[in-house]
Each structure stands twice: as structure tokens, then as C-alpha cells.
């Protein structure tokens, strides 16, 4: 067991609040006994659920507030009205004040990003934070960013996303020089928008702590062609939702096909082990959680409608990121990159 890791949980975020967040924390505690939790929210709703998990109660501190950010609140409205007392803000504040190594919330994505940027600020040299997601591939996983924080991205921001994604890959996958690709409509160098080709030129020539692969297409992501896929938030979010919808569609096709006849049902019984493995591979709950990269602190966004299994996966991600020291690594990478750019400019 390593040094204790404290994670602040927005217990009121998401569609279900404490009824999902508390059992999820109990699951994560079994996997990571060195965890300690700050449970932020309405104590009257948290404590009855927490009473059913005595081991978790012994490793938790409840921070009471009766203010929660609505799932449909506009980011500007949430920042203005819920900045000082909401469960989301207090969880972020715990990270800012070094009382927690990470914060996890299933609440309003736009509000969480706005509050996180205001509370934690971006790492020096980072223009905009990005949301990174872990994507299942044929053999393992890769990292895709941005998946929703920025509608568009200039060349410089795409390069920064590449630095952030590479730092995350080194932290989570143990890779010294992760391979990085830019998502594009083709692999040829003449294809793509100007900002994508400009970012490619920088990544190709700059001495960065990564291995630049080149352009990748949509079907390369699931094949695991690269460790990190870089794109803007609009394209990344569409790709993520499309992949999740396709996984659900395949599951529905399989269930319908296996129940079509007696022989099909018998085959399903004989192949249930293989189907269970496929279900686990396609289950979005196992890789639930997008991390806000580029901030002076670790913030993980869980799906709002997930269950305890999914939220526990988001806590696992926060734990791994906190344990790896990814923020310090990323700050060092960004500082080194901009120093090299300044030297080249002076030359």
C-alpha cells in the first residue's frame, strides 16, 4: 500500500447523486485500500447511504452543502451562482487547496469545465484544457482527446493536446515515447484542414517526448494504430458518441439473433463465456470517465447517467492519474516545448 490518496467526490452530481456515488466509492475502496474520500454534498442524503458501507465511512469525510449545480444549468450561470457553495465547486476547491489529489463529478459537463478552469487555472503554456477519454482497441486501449471541451482547435492547441495526451499515456500505460496521430479525413499529407496540417508540421519536426505517427483515420482508432489520437472537441465528441451507440447497436443485434430460434438459444448457452468477454469489452462503464487535461489539478468527469460500476471506473482513473504525478510531468513537458520554440525562434 502506497501513500494515502484523497479524492473529492461531488456526491450530488449526475442523475442519481449519493445513491450511485457512495456505492461506487465503496467499490473503488476495495480496489485501492489507500484511498480516502471527501464526500461533498447534502449530508442528510449522504449519511443514510454511507451508513450501509462502514468500511467506506471510516475512510471518508463528509463536507456538507445543500447547493448543487443543475444538469441543465448554463456554464456561465453555474459559475456565477454556484461558485462558492455548490458541491461541484467545493470538490474542485479541495484540489486547489491540496486537501485532495483529484476531484470526480458526474455533474453538468459545461459547468464543471467552467468552474475547473476558474478554480484551478490552466498550466502555464497551455491555452485551453481538453477532455481525454480512454478508448478500447483491438488489443488494449488508446487515449483520444479532445472529446468535448473545445468545439474547434487551432494548430498550436492541437500540438498542446498531443503533449497532454502523451503525458497521460506515459502515466497510465507506462510508455516512454507514446505514438501520437492526428485524426484526419485521410493519411496523405495534402489532406485535411489548414490547422491540422500546420500542427502536423510542428509535431513532425519538434523534438518532443513522443513518437509522431502522422495522420490517422476514424477506423484506425479502434485498431490501436497509435497510443494517442488528437482531434478537436467537436469531432472527438461525435466520434465518441458514435462509437458508444455502435457498441449498443451490436449488443442489441446479438441479443436479437441469439433469441431467434431454439438452436440459436442453445448456441448462445454454449458460447456464453465468449459473449461475456465481448460484453465486458464493449461495456462503456469499464472505461467511464473523461479527464480534464491541462489544469493545475486532476478533474475527472463521469457520465451523468452511469451506475455505481461506471462511477467506480471514473474514481479508478482519478486514482491512477493522481498516483502517477501526471500534472507535474505535463507542466515539465509544456515548459520544455515552449523553451525549444523560443530558442528556434531566436535562431
Query: Strands 228-230 and 141-145, how do they pair?
Result: parallel
pLDDT of residue 93: 95
End-to-end CA distance of the chain: 50
| Residue in the block written with cell 497509435 | 226
Whether residue 346 is predicted with pLDDT greater than 60 in this model: the reply is no
Phi then psi for 106, rounded to 5 degrees?
-105, 15
Compute the average pLDDT of residues 179-187: 92
How distant is the alpha carbon of residue 260 from its chain centre?
38
* Cα gap 140→37, rounded to integer Å: 30
- In which band, very low, low, confident or very high, does the pLDDT at 313 lie, cut at 50, 70 and 90? very high
Dihedral of alpha carbons 214, 219, 222, 224, sign: negative
pLDDT of residue 262: 82
pLDDT of residue 74: 86
- Least confidently predicted of 42-46, 49-53, 179-183, 325-329: 325-329
CB 171 within 8 A of CB 227: no
Whole-number Cα distances in Å, 27 to 180, 274, 315: 33, 25, 9
Whether residue 9 is predicted with pLDDT greater than 90 in this model: the reply is yes
Whether residue 310 is predicted with pLDDT greater than 70 in this model: the reply is yes
Predicted structure pTM score = 0.85
Could you give the percent of the chain with pLDDT greater than 90?
Answer: 49
Helices (H), 271-307: 272-282
3-class SS of residue 236: helix
- In which band, very low, low, confident or very high, does the pLDDT at 335 lie, cut at 50, 70 and 90? confident
pLDDT of residue 97: 95
Partners of 183 in the β-ladder: 216
- Least confidently predicted of 5-9, 73-77, 314-318: 73-77
- In which band, very low, low, confident or very high, does the pLDDT at 248 lie, cut at 50, 70 and 90? confident
Whether residue 297 is predicted with pLDDT greater than 90 in this model: the reply is yes
Could you give the percent of the chain with pLDDT greater than 70?
Answer: 94
- Domains of the chain, each with CATH number or no CATH: 1-126+294-347 (3.40.718.10)
Amino acid at each position: 500500500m502506497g501513500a494515502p490518496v484523497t479524492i473529492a467526490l461531488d456526491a450530488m452530481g449526475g442523475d442519481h447523486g449519493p445513491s450511485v456515488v457512495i456505492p461506487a466509492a465503496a467499490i473503488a475502496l476495495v480496489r485501492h485500500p489507500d484511498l480516502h474520500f471527501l464526500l461533498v454534498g447534502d449530508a442528510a442524503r449522504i449519511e443514510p447511504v454511507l451508513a450501509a458501507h462502514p468500511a467506506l465511512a471510516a475512510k471518508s469525510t463528509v463536507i456538507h452543502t445543500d447547493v448543487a449545480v443543475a444538469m441543465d444549468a448554463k456554464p456561465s450561470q453555474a459559475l456565477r451562482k454556484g461558485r462558492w457553495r455548490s458541491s461541484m465547486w467545493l470538490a474542485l476547491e479541495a484540489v486547489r487547496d491540496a486537501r485532495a489529489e483529484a476531484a470526480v463529478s458526474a455533474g453538468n459537463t459545461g459547468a464543471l469545465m467552467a468552474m475547473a478552469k476558474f478554480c484551478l487555472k490552466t498550466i502555464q503554456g497551455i491555452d485551453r484544457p481538453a477532455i481525454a477519454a480512454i478508448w478500447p482497441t483491438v488489443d488494449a486501449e488508446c487515449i483520444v482527446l479532445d472529446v468535448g471541451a473545445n468545439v474547434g482547435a487551432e494548430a498550436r492547441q492541437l500540438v498542446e493536446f498531443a503533449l497532454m495526451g502523451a503525458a497521460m499515456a506515459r502515466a497510465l500505460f507506462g510508455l516512454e515515447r507514446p505514438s501520437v496521430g492526428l485524426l484526419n479525413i485521410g493519411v496523405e499529407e495534402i489532406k485535411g484542414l489548414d490547422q491540422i496540417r500546420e500542427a502536423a508540421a510542428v509535431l513532425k519536426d519538434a523534438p518532443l517526448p513522443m513518437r509522431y505517427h502522422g495522420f490517422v483515420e476514424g477506423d484506425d482508432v479502434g485498431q490501436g494504430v497509435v497510443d494517442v489520437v488528437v482531434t478537436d472537441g467537436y469531432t472527438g465528441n461525435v466520434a465518441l458518441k458514435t462509437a458508444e451507440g455502435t457498441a449498443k447497436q451490436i449488443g442489441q443485434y446479438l441479443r436479437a439473433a441469439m433469441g431467434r430460434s431454439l438452436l440459436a438459444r442453445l448456441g448462445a448457452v454454449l458460447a456464453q463465456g465468449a459473449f461475456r468477454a465481448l460484453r465486458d469489452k464493449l461495456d462503456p462503464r469499464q472505461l467511464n470517465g473523461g479527464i480534464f487535461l491541462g489544469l493545475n489539478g486532476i478533474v475527472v468527469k463521469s457520465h451523468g447517467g452511469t451506475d455505481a460500476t461506471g462511477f467506480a471506473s471514473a474514481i479508478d482513473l482519478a486514482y491512477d492519474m493522481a498516483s502517477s504525478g501526471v500534472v507535474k510531468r505535463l507542466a515539465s513537458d509544456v515548459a520544455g516545448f515552449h523553451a525549444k520554440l523560443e530558442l528556434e525562434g531566436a535562431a
